[in-house]
Chain A
Amino acid sequence: MEDKKVLIVGGGIDGVSVALEEAAAGAQVTIVEKFPTLGAERIPRDRLIKPEDAFINPDLNKVRNDNNVSILTYSDLKKVNRDNGKVQAKILKHSLRVDNSKCNDCKACIKVCPVNMFDDFDESFSFRTAVDYFNPATGEYNIFKEDMPVCQQACPVNLDIRTYVGQIADGKYLASLATIRDRLPLPGSIGRVCPHPCETACNRQYLDEPISICFLKRYVADVELNGGIEPVYETPAKKLPEKIAIIGAGPAGLTCAYHLAREGYENITIYETLPVPGGYLWVGIPEYRLPKKLLQREVDLIANMGIDIQYNKRIGKDISFEDLKNNNDAIFIGAGCHRGLKLRAPGEDEYEGKGIVDCVTFLRDQALGNPIETKGKLIVIGGGNAAIDSARVGWRMGFDEVYILYRRTKKEMPANPWEIDAAEHEGVIIQYLAAPVEILGKDGRVSGMKCIKMELGEPDASGRRRPVPIEGSEYVIDAETIVPALSQATNLEFLGENHGLDINRWNTFDIDEETGATNVQGVFAGGDVVTGPDIAIRAVAAGKKAAEGIHEYLRSR
């Protein structure tokens, strides 16, 4: 046991005493503490308590003087790798924001510090300043700074929201747009469709209502668009030669390509099955929420960075995945979830294509302009945004009546509340607490659906109350078209056989959270193909992360 090394995360009283125990047993101990001091020593509230009089845990001096213990304060544990019975940890040590070698403890900084914050030492009983002495043992000063504002933390791509909203307040619209584009290449599109987790987190809501972060993004993108300004996305002069293939021109793939092009890669090819870019942004989100013209412009801006987008190229059919892997230095898979889940009701298979269309196909057909028969009634089953989109699209296409069937109530509906309200306002009939039982048909076509009323029972694993059918409450709705919009799943047939990639039981990829790397070297994945159906901004975040992962991988080869 002579080279036993122990890492202790947390330098509180327990951490310190365990460290001493382990050191006494002969191990090399490292303590990692998030705060600038070890836990048992405190900032004296004022200098009435002289350091020598203050209560200090006697273990602290022991642990500091122990040669087998090294102490890392003001450090964060970033990543832990397990390998062959050993653990490797990546630790970020922050530097102090005050040059303590020049500090003579005059306290002038405390007097002028403009930031009064609640003191975490006495549970916010009093104020202290952001700059403060914190360590009675060393007398060092530091400036406390929070990591990120809550909105930025809530945003999957960590957009610098405070800056870009502030720049809009200053009237610097183009500077604001540049700030957004540093992390998000599709501001106009995302600004229209994002369900904005940032606004859900916004602190302003406790005063009146959250800042409209999402629409502000849309606004600056529109200022540029309406002003006729054509930006150019810059790429560095120093080019990198590696070949990179990206599968899918959705938000994940486009973002990945954008960030790689900004690193200087010039041989980036995106393979897209559909004749149009954008993935679900094009074929899932209806025109009234996201105009295709605007999306096309944002895609063109990315493509103009020297990225080759090849449409109508299905991997596994036009090019095999194996060839792609052999001919490229790195591959990013951002294929999305383009397979609608089945209803599993009797009659569904029988009438598949004869009145039953899953929502993915339904929305794709209308987006691509494929003919859809629009007479009679339409029933959409489900309560997500895809269901509302299908219903509102159906209503616009000219169905006589449009129904949405959802088995819980409006409160549990996962769709954005404003979308539900808009659908109801337009005339879509939403039947809550109703579920399909059987698809009815006549002469080889759907003629209606037998439904059953539900009531809410005990909460289930997701925390929502489980719907329970009410015996004998069946009723029939006549309909010519039924669109199940339950959820979507991945379709990984394009990989072919013997691809060697780890695929989990949800039929998605297992990836490294930090880099987006799969278990096969040089193959990266991100977006819905990893997370299952999710929001666009998370796919953008995955694309960015994978671009960083690919860059790191290619440069360290």
Chain B
Amino acid sequence: MIVALLQLAPVASATPGDVGLQAQITPAGFDFVSDQLADTEFSFGPTTITGSYDCYDTIEVTDFNLDVPIETVTLEPKSGTLALDVQLGQIRGTDMGLHGDSGWFDLCIDFDATLEYIELSDARLTGELAAEVVNDQLVLSFVEPPVLTGTFDSNIAWFPDDLVWAFMEGTVLDLVSGAIADQLPPIIEELTADGLLVGTFGNVPVVAFVDDVESTRDGLYAAVDIDLGGDGDARGKRLDLSSSDDSHLAVGLTEGMAEEALAAAWSEGLLSPDSPLTADLIASLLADLGLGDDLKVALSLGAPPSVNIDPDGIHLSLEQTKLTATNDGEPALELVADLTGLLEVSVAGGGIVLTAHEVELDVTELDASHLVDRDPENLQAFLEGWVVDAATAALGEMDVYQSHFEALGYVLRLDRTEMQDGGLVAWCTLFAADDPAVDREPPDTEVTATLSGSTVTAVFSATDDRPGDLLYSWRPRRGRLVAVDERDRGDGRHRARRPPDRGDVARRLVQRRPEPGGGDGVAGGPGGGGGEEGLRLRRRRPGERHARAGGLLAVLRPPAALSRGRQPRAAHHRASRWRPASNAGSRPSASACCRRNRAWASASSGRKNSWIKISSPGSNAASMARAWASVTSRPGRTTPSTTVTTRYRSTCPSLAIASSTQRPPNAARASSSRASARSSSMLAS
């Protein structure tokens, strides 16, 4: 991901672009990139290199090999370029064959020798990187050949080293510096071989065109055009991606891009009643409302959504939205309306929070003859009034998605968002997959419920194996708490990816990838020749990207390591569907129930302005009402030993309480390393 953005960061263009997707790597982000490249190693060979030197027509080195350790990397954005300073460890090659041939008329003596080892100590490579857009792709290259310095040493059996030095020193230096110069961009390219911005969105082909870049001391800015379905560019104004905090990366989405994405989704039927997106949404809502299986609701848009973004938020307009409800196949309600609203996207408590304001519904057609026996004017006014207000409240600070993603071996945490004139900007911090800050062990959670009068108090407490910036969490979803990944589990559509370990980066650096038909980047000796087993750097051909899938969408997959939530156990009491307002790693079964297992509750995590309403699903009006439950929270780091207190209020005449403690199956593993405790309702950010 990081390096992918490096790929999007050529320096050649002087004019910033105003296109759909914009990104900027901050100096802090470059520090992160540098950290990721440090302490890695790559190798050459074994291969054969040939050349000529002095009186020798041919000097050939067989089994040429080098191990090149990278100790530190410093990337510093400057005005127009990126300064690169690589401190290399001891470069060393061993057991190579050396052959010199002076030809028929030369006085030099032919030789065959064994090069026991060559070494380059205190090696350092410096240079300035630039990038350019070639065929709508980014090509990263050095402005001038990088300078590699170091101390050369070798040991050649029974042969004067001077000759070898004269030949090998230049060869090795040229080889290493040339290789680094040639390899860095392909390394980046290789890491993004899945096509970060190339793939499909539904049936819509997504094609990214890098448009403009700009390097300043504030970071590296890149602008990308994303053409959805080839129906034109999505342009917009330049967004302010500057950062005043420690975020690594800023990503901006213009309103034109957002509108084109929604238009593409609409034209491809993704917003039609039959699409899985809307069908799942409606089915889930109906299930929460407990209205039975016979009632079917279909929702469709008669026109593409319209989007306008300004500092107040995202002004969304859905015209000719049609809602049809049928019972056992017979139409019960048909409604056509124009819906407008202001959406605010923010990050709080480890989630992406969507807040709706100024929602207005203008019903243009209404057929409710089966429900009302008089003029439906009152029903229409009610829909346009309270129902809209209730929906707005339900969307008030609704946690719609986690704010951390795992892709390409990194965990990206969304720090904050900002609405600007013409676009939405998000700032992110990146973590390596093996960063200790990434919590992958669910905590033990204990829930105790007590009854006092008509109030049930449920206390959730959890112990975890470590503190950190990223916490294991449960996420609320439509009035109940679910695991962070529950929405993606069960249908197999999103299979969690194995997080690559740190070694993957190094392995990719030295990966041999024979290029059928020949590659266009070949490292060779001074003579320009190269063996077939030599280092080949693969470049993706322009047409290849269209065949790739995933891309940017893959980034939106939930992190596998943070997704170990488990489905509710069927054997639990019915009220075990209730979820704790904690970062529980298991499904606590504490609950308060009214008779017939129907109950409703409001809950507070104990943190200021942090509360959760939850309900037990069921086919009654109480559940219907509680289906509008909402969640609010505030960002902030959790502290160890936080106890989350939840208070259920029940209006039922009789009340029963069940409480228990449940440990996850891997609790033993978790508890073995448990050193501190914490509990949080959200993933802290």
Instruction: Judge: A and B partners, yes or no.
Output: no
Chain A residues within CB distance 8 Å of chain B = none
Chain B residues within CB distance 8 Å of chain A = none
